[in-house]
Structures are given as structure tokens and as C-alpha cells.
Amino acid sequence: MYMKKILCLLYLLSIFCFSHAQNENTYLEQKIDSTLSGMTIREKAGQLNQLDGRGTIENLKILIRKGEIGSVMNITEPEIVNELQEIAYKQSRSGIPLVFTRDVVHGFKTMLPIPLGQAATFHPELIQKGARIAAIEATEHGVRWSFAPMIDISRDARWGRIAESFGEDTYLTEQMAVAVVNGFQGDNLSNPQSMAACAKHFIGYGAVEGGRDYNSTFIPERRLRNVYLPPFEAATKAGAATFMTSFNDNDGIPSTGNAFILKNVLRDEWEFDGFVVTDWASASEMISHGFAAGSKEAAMKSVNAGVDMEMVSYTFVKELPELVKEGKVKESTIDEAVRNILRIKYRLGLFDTPYVDEQQTSVMYAPSHLEAAKQAAVESAILLKNDKEVLPLQPSVKTVAVVGPMANAPYEQLGTWIFDGEKARTQTPLNAIKEMVGDKVQVIYEPGLAYSREKNPASVAKAAATAARADVILAFVGEESILSGEAHCLADLDLQGDQGALITALAKTGKPVVTIVMAGRPLTIGKEVEESTAVLYSFHPGTMGGPALADLLWGKAVP
């Protein structure tokens, strides 16, 4: 009898929760319809228009006042965010707030390892914590929407954006996608410290031919569904607020004009109710693809395919009113796009709390943030070799030589997509090692090369001669941050410059050589591994890379 009562109560509770959710959704849709009903076609097109806020903002103010902008990118000064929001909210006729966005990819100020390094942790809970930290820091600056996670399956290390991905495995990428979405968005999107996620790039961008950025793909539907779509479906189920179309065309159809993926799959199959934004000018780039004859056709094909917001191309705001008059785009299609955008703006709480608190206490680089970043860097490192059990370094080691261009390169170790990263706050391996060992171990620093691409045989020889005085040589090599990321594809994946020669020269000293690689992608380092006594591979580790690597080298942490 007691169990029957419990089951009855649970049943009634489930009915109440379902009914409450239905009422909330109905109320939200009524508010959206009310807002939409008073808008002109020009204002509707304006909601679909996203512009870059860098540079002069006077023109932005004019367009915002006229209701011709729905979102602004790349403004991170709270006072400017509030000034522009005031114009949108109080001075535009429709009173619709803006949503401010930024590429917050692996941190805002406190940088975690690049996403490829995050994948190497195999620790979704830690990555979710990192995304939550990024959201807390970014929202303090007025950023309420991030262009992440990037969940393209990436299997060609020549592609520069492999650094920004979670790698080659579909299941792992699904788990990381959910972790980042949950971290960014939290339990309630309307929380001022929550930030809308954007699942990108939809779809197949990581499979570009030859590893060449922006190139074409040919992915049959079976492979698309088995390999490339599952992470995006997982992001949808996790509640990702937005999606971004990819630059590539697949089998001749650019993603920005692909109704099959945007309508049939995303809307109909997965029941996604957020909004879709193009990548940077990818609507107008359909002209270059030969898929659209001009800006009018690009706008028509994008909107009719299921795109809701256009990034920086201006074709929507310029062409849609005329396309509606001509009957080539239904006004109901534009209404649905506006409805999708308004739904996310309401969920973000922007209509109730449009402004960022300029007086709040800053949480940038909070100790807990730095500790999480350090832990992520520790767990992202991979031990490739450890001959003679040289690691962890023993108390008998009294002198270490620290060499290589990545030993004290605060900007380079942050990796790609670090708009807001600050090299002055980066903790490098050299400084972390000195702090750790104090006066117990002598640290000899001779970089050998000033940067990863430098060719300087004389400096290499000097570094080897200096390092020969040490008990153990720690060689920090890899890639500068600019060598990976968007539009930074490489045909040659060997260590750049004279880094290979540096490892060879160090090996000839006869002293144990511990090689630490800090890079944005997998590299072809077979020769260097053979010549080294031990090898630690650390994808660009972020702000706390130095302390993390020092802990690993001395055994305070285990790779």
C-alpha cells in the first residue's frame, strides 16, 4: 500500500512537471509572437544580421537604433556592451536586445589546453568545469554567446583546425560536445553567468580534401550519419542553443545552402528549436562556390535552406525585403527565423536583464580557475617514451638544462583562438621549474632557438655545449601558436626550423634528453623520439602549462 502511494505521488509529480513545462513553453511562444507581430520586414531582416564590432562603433549605433542588427561580435568592454544594449533596448522601435558573442574556444582569460589537448584527457567532467569557468569569465565582459564547441571529426593532422577539434573519434567527441554545452549553458540559460553554446561546424568541415582549409568534401550519407553527425545530435540533445554552418560544400552543396542538413536532419529529425548562424561570410561565399549567382541568390538560398542569422555578409539585411516582394522568400520563412532568434534571446533572459554589471567583483584568473586549468594541462599530457625510467626526475638530479624555443614562450603555449589570452599571466615551464626546485637544483637555461621556425646552427651548437654540463636535459620544442588554427594548414608535419637538429645535438652529449613537445596538432617526430631518452607530448597547454609540466617531470603528477 505504501509503495502504491509513492508511485501515485511520483506519477502526479511527473504530470505537474510536464504541465508546468508546457505552460512555460506556451507563455514563451506567446511573448515571441507578440514581439514579432509589431515588427516591420526591415526590422525582421535586421534580427537576422550579425556584425563585427571591432573598430568604430558609430555606424553600429545608427544601425542598432534603426533595428537593423540582431547580434554583435567581438566587443568585450562592459561599458560599450551596455551603451549599445541601451540603444537597442530603449531607443530602437522594436526594443529587442542584442546578443553579444565571441570565439571563447578553450578559455576566456584563463586558458585551458587547446580542445585537442582537452580530448586527450578523456575526462568530460573536467572539460565541463573548464567550459563553466570560461562562461563565468566571459559573461563578466558581456559575452553571452560563444562560437564553440567545435565538434568536427578531424582525422587529417595537416588541417590547421584539428587543434580546435576533439580529434578523430566520434564517441569521444560526442562526450566532449555534451560537456562543453553543459559547461557553457549551466542549469539555466537565463543565469547572467551562462553563455549560449554554438555547435560548429555543421557539417563535415573536418574532412576537407587534402587537409586544406575551406576545401570541399565528399561524405556519403551513411558515413555522414555514422561518423560526422552524432556529436551534433548529442549537442542538440544536451540543449545547445545555436548551430553554425560550415564553410565547406559537401558533394557540391555548401552547408549554408543545404536544406537536407538544416531542415530534414536538424529541425525535423532532431527537433532543434534554437537558431542557426552562418560562419564568417559563408552566405556570400556561396557565390565563390558557384552555388549562387550573386548576393540576392545567396540570401535566398541560405534563408530558404534554414539559416536564421547571417554573420557579416550583409546579404540578408540588404536583399530579404526585396526577395519577399518578389515572392522568392516567404515572409513566414523570415518570421520563423526571427522566432528562433527571439526564443534564444528570451531564454538568455536578455529581455529582463539586458545589461552586464560593470561593478561586479572580477573573477578573472581566480585560484580555482587556475587550478582547473592546471589539472586539465596535466591530464592532457601523453608519455610517449621513458627509457631508463628517467622520469620522474630523482633527487640525485642536481643540475638540469632547460633548452628549446617553447621553454619560455608564454604566448605560444596558449595555442590558437586566444583573442583574450594574456601572455603576461601565462606560467611557462622555465619559470615553473625554477619556482619548483628553488635552490635545490641548478637550472641552466639556453634556448638554442628563439622561436620554433628559426634556423640557427651556431645557437644550436651553443645550447648543446651548455646543456652538456647538466645531469638531465629538458628540451621544450613544438609549434608556435600561429602554426595551427584556421587557415594554418601544413603539408610538412616535421618539427619546424632547426628543432630536429637541436634534439640531435643534445642527444650527442650523452646526457639523458627529456623532450617535451608543445604543439597544436600531432607531429611526425619519429627521429626525435628515437634520439630522446623520454618524451612527453603536450598539446598547447594554456595558461598553466608550466606548472603542469613541472609537476609531471618531477613526479608530483602522473601522465
| Cell numbers representing residue 358 in the block | 560593470
CA distance 339 to 341: 5
Which residue's entry shows cell 539585411? 317
**Distances from the Cα of 442 to the Cα of 148, 160, 401, 437, 467, angstroms:** 43, 38, 8, 8, 12
Across the strands, what pairs with 399? Answer: 442
Q: Is 487 left (phi over 0), alpha (psi -120 to 50) or beta?
A: left
CB atoms within 10 A of CB 328: 17
Element (H, E) at 250: strand 249-250
Contact 471, 397 (CB under 8 A): yes
CA distance 201 to 184: 17
Q: Which of 279, 420, 498, 551 is catalytic?
A: 279
Which residue's entry shows cell 565528399? 218
Collapse the DSSP code of 360 into the 3-class scheme (helix H, G, I; strand E, B; otherwise coil) and give the result.
Answer: coil
CA distance 53 to 41: 24
Burial 34-44 (b: 16+ CB within 10 A, else e): ebbeebeeebb
Contact 298, 270 (CB under 8 A): no
Looking at residue 156, what DSSP letter applies?
Answer: -
CA distance 168 to 154: 5
Looking at residue 239, what DSSP letter applies?
Answer: T
| Cell numbers representing residue 551 in the block | 609537476
Q: Is 335 a catalytic residue?
A: no
Across the strands, what pairs with 92? Answer: none
CA distance 1 to 174: 44
Contact 47, 341 (CB under 8 A): yes
CA distance 67 to 64: 5
Q: Which of 490, 473, 478 is nearest to 412 (CA)?
A: 478
Q: Quick one: CA dihedral 57, 58, 59, 64, positive or negative?
A: positive
Give the DSSP letter string of 62-90.
HHHHTT--SEEES---HHHHHHHHHIIII
Collapse the DSSP code of 254 into the 3-class scheme (helix H, G, I; strand E, B; otherwise coil) and give the result.
Answer: strand
- With both helix axes pointing from N to C terminus, report the angle between 230-237 and 170-185 in degrees, rounded to the nearest 10: 30
Q: Report the alpha-carbon angle 412-399-440, nearest 5.
A: 95
CA distance 47 to 334: 10
Which of the residues are catalytic?
A: 279
